[in-house]
Structure 1
Amino acid sequence: MLTMRCSTIRLATCAVALFLGGLPSVRAQSQQPAQPAAPASNAAPPSKADLCYSGYGLQPQEKISICTDAIQSGGLTGIPLALAYYSRATASAAVGDQKSAQSDYKQSLRLFTDVIRVSAPSAPILFQRGLIYHTMGDADQAIVDYSDAIRLAPNETYAYVNRGIVLYTKKDNNEGAIADFNSAIKLNRCEVSAWINRGLVYKRKGNLDQAISDFTTAIGCLPANPSPVRPANEIPPGTQLNAAYLQGVQTATQLADAYYQRGLAYLDKAGKDPKQSIPVLDKAIADFTTAIRFNPTAAAHYVGRASAYMYKEEFKPAIADFTDAIRLAPGDEYTYLHRGIAYHSVNEPDNAIADYSEAHRINPLDVNPLVNRGIVYYSKKGQYDLAINDFTDALKINPKEVNALINRGISWREKGDPDKAIADFSEALRLGLLTGDVLQFGSKDPEAVRHWAQVANARYQRGTAYMAKGEYDLALADFNESIRLNPTEARVFVSRGGVYLIRQDYKRAIADLDEGIRLDPAYAFAFFQRGFAYHALNEPDHAYADYTKSIELDPKYITSYLNRGIIEYTRRGDYDAAVADFTAALKLGPDNINALMHRGVAYAAAGEFDKGLADLNRAIELSPEFAKAYYYRGVVYSLRGSVDRALTDFSAAIRLDPKAPEAYLNRAAIYAQLGQHDKAIADLDEVIKLVPTAAGAYYNRGYSYFAKGQYEKAIADYSEAIKFNPNLAVAYNNRCLTRAVVGHDLRDAIADCDEALKLQPTSLDARDTRAFIYLKLGEFAKAVSEYDLSLQVEPNRARALYGRGLAKLKGGDKSGGDADMAAATKLSPSIAEDFTKFGIN
């Protein structure tokens, strides 16, 4: 018996779209606002205000505390107080406290505006206010202030740089931004922030080589090995935050940022050329590592390196980097989201859920944490209701979120509701095809490629739902379309092959499974499915090889052990190997009934009946309504010779499953052995009703008809057996014998015996039958020759001795004939009656 599971089981838990979203919004490098002069090197230690303004090396919470103390001290007014509010606002934003950040930005803005109203026009002060507008998202007012600053100080670079940043980040004006950065570079060939930001614009435009060139120029403009930025707790006691120190920190920060941005550009470049991705990703990792070395306080640098590790599927170092980033900036949704993905990928579902939940808390309007958490719930925890709730919440935020629809559909399907699954997949397809009107199929644009891959996935998932409903034509239609849209997905070929397996179209199944294995040589289930197809096609060696490969790739898949064990004891006669495979299956599933049943039969086939019956008794104890267990125990009792018990078990199997042909077939065999041919024929009639092409049933019924003397019916059944299995040698032999007994069509009978010997050259029965026909035809010399060949193999074969004796006697060799017939009668006293019954005296 072959055991096959539906090809969708393995695929049902394939999570969709784990990598959602890109890296965090690229941080444009602005010129820093002017700050009060730092204390001279021989001055007293820096004040709280000095630490608040500089902020270098401080954690956001430390900076919030220091700035709060400075603000509440009462010693700051005007611009110094405005800068303190601004510094505290940036720290609050870094920990995700947007409400406090906005309040402080507004307070800083009010203070700057008060100064501007009562002071002479000042480019630095206008620039500072523009920076606050910029940070708060008021792009138009920021541009006004930056433009006024440029008008007042046309030879200074800082306002050009920041206006360019607003133009490309807020107004989508890439060319205007490049013009501003060019103006800054024209004023100062080593204006680092202009080079970095121009590189960002080129990166945004897709010109990655030019972007990398600009970042490299920025790196070349800076000292090669400045002192790294130190966290506050690592600054040596007594260090003065004087102008030289702060300039050194700014230099290290800029250099680190240039390496970081170049690392991001390499990361994008790796995504555009997968064949060259590893060396390019290594360049990205090297740049992020350098950025971390010069500024280990910037969370983004760790996130960048973690993202490169993610692309390389090196999830453990990615998790370590994301963890460092969270330590530095605990309020960033992106970092939690992607650390969750990394935990998901290393099969740590609880940690993944915790991270997705935190990402959702930080930004409850982002669907990605909900979608990914839902994927973990159904694919790792089997908690379909929780998954469906998450996908439904995501769809409330964005009713057009295709990933949520697809994954909710998977959850419905795995929960056993294929109709709801099909509804979700169909809606996903409708939305996908609407977008497809804009994104041309076949385009190499990355967005178009991702879109059509998503549409193909929706087709695939709906196909698996149709497959679960048994609607195979609809499943095939979806799989065909999925393959047309994306012919690189191994699982779709394997699933379509699964449909062909169910339809017993094994050749097509193998073709699809071959392609699935070519696309994914480590796809264990594809090897199992192909092994099943070869098994069904009676190609046991190919099947055995595929089951073995499946076990090698997935040592925990029970059914591969089962089917390989079946081949070992049914086709190879290797009972010890079969028992070993069934035992391995039982270690994985101690109460696996199929493993118990087949090990029981393998033990019995090896002559260990007690062990075999113990296994089968245990199977029946575990599942007393399982017909197969009774059937196989009946087989063991048959092998043992316990005919009555075998009959009882076969009858029990038929009662529990009246449509199981093998139980009727085996009960009929016992009835035939007992000479109860009418009962045998009745059971075989049932087999033929259930399986009209069952060659073995026709053959066995022909045997019983022959035993009853109903020779014409026997010949008809043997002919049907041959029609359905032209390689069934015993059917040719028995038709040959029956024709010989009837006494007509003897030449046809000879042809049947010839075919039997052609298929089975060592068959003594066929040779004896052919000799018997020659005896009937009066061709005694040929009869003697045929019997001689049988007796060379088996000298004490009574039938051949008696037949040769008759042939010799009738051919004139009385002494030789009498001697052979006497020897035969001694071996089988009733042998003469057998020949008389068939018309030979």
Structure 2
Amino acid sequence: MKKLLYVLAFLFTATTSMAQLNTQRLLDIGRNALYFEDYVVAIQYFNQVIKAKPYLTDPYLYRAFAKLNLEDYRGSISDCDKALEINPFLPKVYYCRGYAYRQIGTLEASTDDFKASLKLEPDNINTTNLLIENLIRQKLLDEALSQCDSFLIKYPRYTETYLLRSQIYLEKGDTIKASSDLDAAISINTDNDLAHAFRAMLRYEQKKYKESIEDMNDAIRINSFRSDYFGNRAIIRMQTKDLRGAMNDFDAAIEIDNKNVSVYFNRGILRSQVGDDNYAIDDFTKCIALDPSNYTAYLQRAYLRNTTGDLKGSISDFTKVIERYPDFVVAYYGRSEVKKKMRDQLGAERDYYTALNIENEIKSGKRKQKTGKEAEELPTAESRAIVQQLNKKQNDRYKSDIRGQVQYKDIDIEPLSNFVIGIPSSDLEIQRKTLFNKQLDDYNKRQGRKVQFCIKEKEVDSAMLEEYFKAIDNANNILSKDSLNESALMERAYCLSKVQDYVSALKDFDRVLPYHPNNVLAYFNRGNARLKAIKENNFENNVPLSEYTMAVSDFMMAAKIDPTFIYALYNAGYVYMQEKSFQKAIECYNNAINIYPEFAEAYYNRGLIYLFQGDKAKGRADLSKAGELGIHGAYNVIRRYAY
């Protein structure tokens, strides 16, 4: 008996040790993936650890960092909350959550978290600097200055803190002390490109253009890969009338970053000044394409279109500005001039007197003039080169150090497609498991196949095509003797679908179902064949509702026969999305998720619907979950549309 107890105890200990070993191994692999910036892969490993041991803090923390790098800030905050519920004394968790709050603009909560982190880890340089940056953005300048002073007593040669303190002095209007701090930063580290760039812009504001260019030259010599450095040097050169040099710098800036809105805008200004109006219009058009809310670009383009004779285009641009800023008299006067050219005398007079009336009301006090942030947004008639302020978004330098962010990959914002039965594509970055289905398992055993439920199938090659035609011939032989053989009809219908003969496939499914009304796969495959037929018939933008209705009916019938058949529910939801019956689609996805709470594709599509309906909070939550479960494209959508 003692021997038996000893053996059982040994087995239990060995099993426990193995589980610990496996969990630690998964955690280590996840950390390695995190280190190599494979964030989506890392999340999958941390998910497994959390499933096995939900009481550990590390997997929540690491997953929070992965989500942070993917810009899923709400998801990161949620994971940090869970880690702190388990252990409230983790400085890195407060740091991570503080950074996430900072990125979504919740500065007060971010500042509180950075302070909590520093209580536990007082000498953390990154946390201290982020706290100071937050305080500057919150206009708590005295507290920010106190933090800088205290930190520089401990670390008198840390240049970034001098840069931060210089920004505080600039906010306070003390350019002498700001300049002194920038000088100190450069004397400590002459290769600090940011310090040279900051000092260049300070000297630019002081109209010390020669010294400003010298500093910007040094910044570019140290770091020649920053588009904004070239853009800012171009601005300075414009002030010294070195227009050729300015144009070369703008071109270099765009070569480094062809999505730099400010550079396109400023190059457009320069081109308009030298009379290169058509190319200037091109630059403003690119600027607007990248930033549709840049009304100053609309205004500049309106004037240039008027000059080049594109009067309708000019009217359109002036109107765009007026719609956004209905009190902006300059746009009314500009549009009035264009209408005169178009011989629309009535319209020209209407705009002219509207502008005059607005001016008189402002002078008399009947109409309030725009102030504060709204006034800053207004374009002005004398709009010229806008210098990129290096200090307005200092956190960009932290962002730029994070590589491999899948949320920056260009993807189409479309729902994930319907599930089909087939061979999954091997190029899927994350292979997600599919749930067991007895009928599919029986079909695979009967036909010697290994097909699965998948969204993206392997492309049919010549060998597969030959195999399908051979299977069709075999099924034909069987059906010539037994025309209602269920197995042969199912096999032939499946293969006919794969060779894109959807009409014949549908006929076979139609023959199966009257005699085998509980054949779940027949309904499922027939629904998919209908969807394929819709695409083949090129309905696309004008699909008869009856086509979609029959497909939905098949999927819902499959789900009725097998209430756990999540792929049928998902497909019904997908078809409802195509019909724009969003509430019905949500119900289908809800049911599928209730059955299988890790159904990534359902979360993704439901998240898109919520975003379309304007419910960003629910959309973010669903897309975050989809990303967590392996759909990397979700992070791109979160970044672009969910905040």
TM-score w.r.t. structure 1 length? 0.38
Relative contact order higher in (CA < 8 Å, ≥ 6 apart): 2
